[in-house]
Structure 1
Amino acid sequence: MDINALQTLLFVPATRPERFDKALASGADAIIIDLEDAVPAAEKEAAGKALSTWLDTQPNHSVLIRINPIDSPWFKQDIQLCRSKAVAGVVVPKVEDADALAELARACEKPLLPFIESALALHRLNDIAAVSGVARFLFGKLDLALDLGMDYPQPAGEPLDESAFLYARSQLVVCSRVHGLAAPIDGIFTALYDAKGLTDYARQGMRLGFSGFLLIHPAQVKPAQKALTPTSAQISWAKHIIEAEAREKGAVVAVGGNMVDLPIISRAKRIMELVSNLGK
């Protein structure tokens, strides 16, 4: 598993081992078996033991697991699970302490995907990004909204408004770029069966520089994949840009009344490269 290339990550509760194989077959790039929020305290020990048995049957580097917080009573059990050959990386919740994260990296010797979900985590983002072993950030917007006292999510029926998270999302994208990390993974879309809503939501994140999404139901996989596919308008625009560049041999030109220079040409080529890769 190439963690840097993952775009669709599907959560599965650790209490539902009968869903693990179905999730692997869902079409998502990877599954995250969740030992944290999805598992009640009274069931965590049993869930960990069941997961350990299942991991023993899986290929190397085939799944991700979300462990319990570093200061929780289940952390040591979770570390043992992280050492399984089947575990490709560790999703770490409620990350705020870079030193504690560095200790975890040494203990499990697996790539880490820290959840950024509090004001303090955002404040310490550069320190967290600098920890050896951190692969990429995950955005925990619901916990961040709670921490900051945001009026989110909106009541059912109101238009989706993600503008309150613009600063946090941009911080994640910029910090990832500065530290040479893969682009971050955007937070969940809570409506399970709103395919159009999810596709629109995912495209908003992509405009900001996110390159993947956290999913909570197999029904969300195809809408997320649709968001990752260039639209017909994007493809048409890219073709016009590349054709103009070929005519002018790389000089700055105007296309449709807009200036076209190297960054725009590079963007057009990236779109067409993505189209080519999807066709393979």
Structure 2
Amino acid sequence: MNINTLQTLLFVPANRPERFAKALSSGADAVIIDLEDAVPPAEKDAARSTLAHWLTGQPPASVLVRINGTDTPWFNQDAALCRADAVAAIVVPKAEDPDALTELANASDKPLLPFIESARALALLNDIATANGVARLLFGQLDMALDLAMDYPPPAGELQDQTPFLPIRSQLVATSRAHELAAPLDAVYTAFNDDEGLQNYVREGAKLGFGGVLLVHPRQVAPATQALAPTQAQINWADKVMAANEQTNGAVVAVNEHMVDSPVVARARRILQHNRH
């Protein structure tokens, strides 16, 4: 599993092992088995035990696991569980301590995907991004909204306005790029029956530079995958740009009354490469 190229990552609760197979066959690029938010405190130990047994029968590097936070009583045992060969990477919630991330990476020898979901995490974002073992950043929108006392999420049926989160989301993208991490993964879209809303959300994230999205239900996989693919209009535009570039041997040229120079050509090439995959 190449952590850097994952685009659709589907959560499944660790206390629902009957859902593991369905999640793995959903078409998502990766499955995150969740020991944290999805599992009530009284079920944490049983869920970990069940997951540990299940992992022994899985191929190497086949799933990701979200552990409980470093400040919880379940952290040490969760971290030990992640040494299993079937665990490709560790998803770390409420990451705020770069030193704790380094210790976890050294102890587990696994890539880390820390959730950025608090003001403190934003303040330490550069240190978190450069901590040993960190592979990609994840955006935890719901916890971030709670920490910042934001008026989000709205009541069911109302528009999920993402405008207040634009500075934070852009900060994750820019910091990831500055430290040569793969593009970050965008937060979950909680309305799992709203395909149109999900697709608009995913496309907006892609415009900002996110490399993919976290999902909470198998039925979100197909619309999210479609939203992440280049549109036919983008492909047609990219074909025209590349054709014009070849005809002029790289000189600045106009396509549809828009100037085309090297950054535009690079963008067109990226679209066509993405389409081929």
Would you say same fold, with TM above 0.5? yes
Which amino acid counterpart does residue 80 of structure 2 have in structure 1?
Answer: Q
- Tell me how far apart the structure 1 counterparts of residues 168 and 227 of structure 2 sit (CA, whole Å): 21
**Where in structure 2 are there 5+ consecutive unaligned residues?**
none
- TM (norm. structure 2) is 0.98
Residue 240 of structure 1: CA displacement? 1.4
Residue 76 of structure 1: CA displacement? 1.5
Q: Which residue of 2 aligns with 1:186?
A: 186
User: SS at the partner of 1:251?
Assistant: coil
Q: Which residue of 1 aligns with 2:12?
A: 12
- Tell me how far apart the structure 1 counterparts of residues 158 and 218 of structure 2 sit (CA, whole Å): 25
1:150 equivalenced with 2:164 (yes/no): no
**Where in structure 1 are there 5+ consecutive unaligned residues?**
none
Q: Is the 8 A contact 2:185 2:212 kept in 1?
A: yes
Once structures 1 and 2 are overlaid, which stretch shifts more, 128-137 or 240-249?
Answer: 240-249
- Tell me how far apart the structure 2 counterparts of residues 70 and 165 of structure 1 sit (CA, whole Å): 26
Q: Which residue of 2 aligns with 1:263?
A: 263
Q: Which residue of 2 aligns with 1:247?
A: 247
Q: Which residue of 2 aligns with 1:118?
A: 118
- Tell me how far apart the structure 1 counterparts of residues 159 and 49 of structure 2 sit (CA, whole Å): 43
- Tell me how far apart the structure 2 counterparts of residues 18 and 157 of structure 1 sit (CA, whole Å): 31
Residue 245 of structure 1: CA displacement? 1.0
Which amino acid counterpart does residue 17 of structure 2 have in structure 1?
Answer: P
1:219 equivalenced with 2:219 (yes/no): yes
For residues 237-274 of structure 1, give each alpha carbon's deviation from its aligned partner in whole angstroms, at most 9, with x where no partner exists.
11111121122111111111111110001101111112
- Tell me how far apart the structure 2 counterparts of residues 157 and 72 of structure 1 sit (CA, whole Å): 35
- TM (norm. structure 1) is 0.97
Residue 160 of structure 1: CA displacement? 2.8
Q: Which residue of 2 aligns with 1:159?
A: 159
Task: Trace 1:1-280 onto structure 2 (pairs within 5 A).
Answer: 1-277=1-277
User: SS at the partner of 1:259?
Assistant: strand
Which amino acid counterpart does residue 244 of structure 1 have in structure 2?
Answer: A
Which amino acid counterpart does residue 237 of structure 2 have in structure 1?
Answer: W
Compute the RMSD of aligned alpha carbons.
Answer: 0.9
Which amino acid counterpart does residue 75 of structure 2 have in structure 1?
Answer: F
Residue 155 of structure 1: CA displacement? 2.2
Q: Is the 8 A contact 2:252 2:260 kept in 1?
A: yes
Residue 163 of structure 1: CA displacement? 0.8
Once structures 1 and 2 are overlaid, which stretch shifts more, 39-48 or 246-255?
Answer: 246-255
- Tell me how far apart the structure 2 counterparts of residues 67 and 261 of structure 1 sit (CA, whole Å): 46
User: SS at the partner of 1:174?
Assistant: helix
The runs of 4+ residues in structure 1 deviating greater than 4 Å are none
- Tell me how far apart the structure 2 counterparts of residues 170 and 6 of structure 1 sit (CA, whole Å): 19
User: SS at the partner of 1:71?
Assistant: coil
- Tell me how far apart the structure 2 counterparts of residues 114 and 80 of structure 1 sit (CA, whole Å): 17
For residues 154-213 of structure 1, give each alpha carbon's deviation from its aligned partner in whole angstroms, at most 9, with x where no partner exists.
223322310111111111111111111110000000111111111111010000110111
For residues 57-96 of structure 1, give each alpha carbon's deviation from its aligned partner in whole angstroms, at most 9, with x where no partner exists.
1011100000000111111110121110000000000001
- Tell me how far apart the structure 2 counterparts of residues 238 and 160 of structure 1 sit (CA, whole Å): 32
